[in-house]
């Protein structure tokens, strides 16, 4: 009986050692320690033994049983760890690998692209950016810019009034006044930002649009300096083949004032529906800064002079990309925006 017990012990330990799955351990337990197992069967044969033999054999059988149960438990833990490692390897996700589903990349809005083109052109010409509030004091939006309370040109600005002294700025020119007050000449500033006017929405008008303005303050500035700057700026944005011309105009904060036309980017100056057959498209306003504005802002017009020009970013985007309706820039229609 002891020899049989030893055979069961060695055979079971060998099978436990070779087991590769938990199911195999369950089978070993059933065949050895289960109700119909080999060790259980040999223990039933103790009934025919004497009392002394039964005591000695029972002690040996309990030792073997505990040894086998311990071996099964350790092997089960080892297999559990091995299976877990296998699952980790098969289920692992390499976050550095590209995904199977292609996610479309985002891109800049056409207004942002055009604004950066304009800004980069001005920065390349020595301008630095200058910003101011969209909710502006009337004194900066009008009075300091040579538009006192009784000035008829105030009617040209369809203004959103918050109260009698505060407005939504109608142009970026209030930042001119702020720059003249806070900066020491000489300087060149580019002033970008949103502006607001009471306008019905249609293909060419919006109550909210974006401007960018340039202001240069120095000594002995002439109209030739202004024209050279404007020409260089337009060619930097639209290309070297574009032609420009200046026409006399009127703005309260510049004297003399001018409108700048550029050759039509659609037809190359030959005449089309966009330029109404003239070959020219109005692009911006400009002029030599009015001495009254300089004086209002604490700059001596006898020592310093300045010029300014402003362009609508929306208008540049329309001309550059051939967009016929300004509303398309603000509708956020992905079918339209993904073209740029």
Residues 192, 308: one domain?
yes
Would residue 101 count as lying in a domain? no
Residues 57, 190: one domain?
no
- Determine the Cα–Cα distance for residues 317 and 114; give it in Å rounded to an integer: 6
Residues 34, 66: one domain?
yes
Would residue 99 count as lying in a domain? no
Residues 43, 145: one domain?
no
State yes or no: cis peptide before 282, omega within 30 of 0.
no
- Determine the Cα–Cα distance for residues 288 and 176; give it in Å rounded to an integer: 13
| Helix, strand counts (H, E) of the chain | 11, 10
Residues 136, 245: one domain?
yes
Would residue 258 count as lying in a domain? yes
Measured over all CA atoms, what is the biggest interatomic distance in the chain, rounded to whole angstroms? 133
pLDDT tens across the length of the chain (340 residues): 667 777 777 888 888 888 888 888 788 878 777 777 777 777 776 767 777 776 777 777 778 778 888 888 888 888 888 888 878 777 777 778 777 777 777 788 999 999 999 999 999 999 999 999 999 999 999 999 988 888 776 766 688 989 989 999 999 999 999 999 999 999 999 999 999 998 888 887 889 999 999 999 999 999 999 999 999 999 999 888 889 999 999 988 999 999 999 988 777 778 887 778 888 989 999 999 999 999 999 999 999 999 999 999 998 998 888 888 888 988 888 888 888 8
Q: Global pTM? A: 0.67
Residues 52, 136: one domain?
no
pLDDT value at position 192? 95
Q: What is the CATH number of the domain that holds 313?
A: 3.30.930.10
Which residues lie closer than 8 Å to 172 by C-beta, 6 or more apart?
A: 132, 191, 192, 193, 195, 211, 212, 213, 310
Residues 122, 78: one domain?
no
Choose among 281, 285, 292: nearest CA to 257.
285
pLDDT value at position 67? 81
pLDDT value at position 1? 67
Would residue 205 count as lying in a domain? yes
Would residue 213 count as lying in a domain? yes
Residues 65, 132: one domain?
no
Write out pLDDT tens, residues 181-218. 999 999 999 999 999 998 888 887 889 999 999 999 99
- Determine the Cα–Cα distance for residues 29 and 72; give it in Å rounded to an integer: 8
**What region does 147 belong to: left with phi over 0, alpha with psi -120 to 50, or beta?**
beta
For the beta carbon of residue 43, count every other beta carbon within 10 angstroms.
17
Domain boundary among 61, 91, 121: 91
Which residues lie closer than 8 Å to 326 by C-beta, 6 or more apart?
A: 203, 204, 205, 206, 209, 314, 318
Given the DSSP bridges, would you call strands 305-312 and 280-289 parallel, antiparallel or unpaired? Answer: antiparallel
Q: How many domains does the chain have?
A: 2
Would residue 51 count as lying in a domain? yes
Q: 146: which DSSP letter?
A: T
Residues 188, 280: one domain?
yes
Would residue 82 count as lying in a domain? yes
Would residue 151 count as lying in a domain? yes
Domain boundary among 62, 91, 120: 91
Domain boundary among 36, 63, 91: 91
Residues 260, 196: one domain?
yes
Q: 19: which DSSP letter?
A: -
pLDDT value at position 157? 63
- Determine the Cα–Cα distance for residues 313 and 316; give it in Å rounded to an integer: 5
pLDDT value at position 216? 97
Residues 162, 305: one domain?
yes
| Residue 18 lies in domain | 2-91
Residues 183, 305: one domain?
yes
For the beta carbon of residue 177, count every other beta carbon within 10 angstroms.
26
pLDDT value at position 77? 85
């Amino acid at each position: 009986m002891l020899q049989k017990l030893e055979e069961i012990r060695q055979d079971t330990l060998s099978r436990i050692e070779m087991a590769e799955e938990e199911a195999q351990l369950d089978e070993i337990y059933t065949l050895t320690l289960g109700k119909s197992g080999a060790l259980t069967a040999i223990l039933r044969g103790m009934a025919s033994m004497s009392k002394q033999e039964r005591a000695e054999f029972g002690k040996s059988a309990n030792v073997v049983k505990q040894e086998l149960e311990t071996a099964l438990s350790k092997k089960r833990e080892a297999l559990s760890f091995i299976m877990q490692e296998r699952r980790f390897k098969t289920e692992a996700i390499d976050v550095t690998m590209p995904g199977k589903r292609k996610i479309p990349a985002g891109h800049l809005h056409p207004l942002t692209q055009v604004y950066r083109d304009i800004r980069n052109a001005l920065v390349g010409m020595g301008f630095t950016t200058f910003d101011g509030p969209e909710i502006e004091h009337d004194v900066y939006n009008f009075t300091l810019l040579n538009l006192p309370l009784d000035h008829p040109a105030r009617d040209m600005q369809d203004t959103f009034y918050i109260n009698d002294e505060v407005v939504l700025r109608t142009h970026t020119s209030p930042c001119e006044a702020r720059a003249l007050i806070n900066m020491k000449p000489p300087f060149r500033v580019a002033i970008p930002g949103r502006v607001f006017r009471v306008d019905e929405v249609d293909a060419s008008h919006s109550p909210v649009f974006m401007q960018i303005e340039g202001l240069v303050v120095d000594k002995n500035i002439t109209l030739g300096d202004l024209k050279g700057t404007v020409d260089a700026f337009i060619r930097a944005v639209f290309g070297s083949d574009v032609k420009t011309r200046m026409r006399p105009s009127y703005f309260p904060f510049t004297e003399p004032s001018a409108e700048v036309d550029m050759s039509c980017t659609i037809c190359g100056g030959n005449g089309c529906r966009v330029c109404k057959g003239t070959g020219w498209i109005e692009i911006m306003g400009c002029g030599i800064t009015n001495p009254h504005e300089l004086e209002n802002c604490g700059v001596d017009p006898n020592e310093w002079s300045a010029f300014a020009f402003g362009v609508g970013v929306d208008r540049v985007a329309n001309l550059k990309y051939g967009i016929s309706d300004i509303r398309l820039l603000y509708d956020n229609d992905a079918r339209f925006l993904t073209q740029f």
